[in-house]
Amino acid sequence: MHLFISHAAPTGPNCQAAIAELSLPNLNELLGQLTPTPPMLGSPDTLTPLAERIRANSLGLQGPDGLIPWAATDAQQLGLTKIHGDAGWAWITPCHLTPQSNQVRMEDPLDLYISTQECDTLRNAMKRYFEEDNKITLHPLTNGTWLAFGEVFKDLPTASLERVACNAIDAWMPQQEHAKHLRRLQNEMQMLLYTHAVNDSRTARGLATINAFWISGTGTPGPAPTKPPVRMDHVDGLRKAALQDDAQAWMLAWQEIDNTRLAELLRSVKAGKSEQLTLCGERTAVTLETQDKPWWGRIQQRFSTASSQQLLQTL
- How many helices (H) and strands (E) the chain has is answered by 14, 13
Count the alpha carbons within 13 Å of 166 in the hemisphere toward its beta carbon.
Answer: 13
Contact between 271 and 265 (Cβ < 8 Å): no
Give the Cα separation of 282 and 315 in Å (integer): 7
Give the separation between CA 166 and CA 240, rounded to whole angstroms: 9
Please tell me whether residue 83 adopts helix, strand or coil conformation: helix
Instruction: Per residue of the chain (315 residues), give pLDDT as tens.
Output: 899 999 999 999 999 999 999 999 999 999 988 988 999 999 999 999 999 999 999 999 999 999 999 999 999 999 999 999 999 999 999 999 999 888 999 999 999 999 999 999 999 999 999 998 779 999 999 989 999 999 999 999 999 999 999 999 999 999 888 888 898 999 999 999 999 999 999 999 999 999 999 999 999 998 877 777 778 999 999 999 999 999 999 999 999 999 999 999 999 999 999 999 999 999 999 999 997 654 444 544 454 467 889 999 999
Residue 140 parent element (H or E): strand 137-140
The SS3 of residue 113 is coil
Burial classification of residue 194, based on how many CB atoms lie within 10 Å of its CB (0-12 exposed, 13-18 middle, 19 or more buried): exposed
Cα distance from N-terminal residue to C-terminal residue, the chain: 22
CA distances from 38 to 3, 20, 309 (A): 17, 24, 19
User: Cα torsion for 289, 290, 292, 298, to the nearest 10°?
Assistant: 100
pTM of the model: 0.91
SS3 309: helix
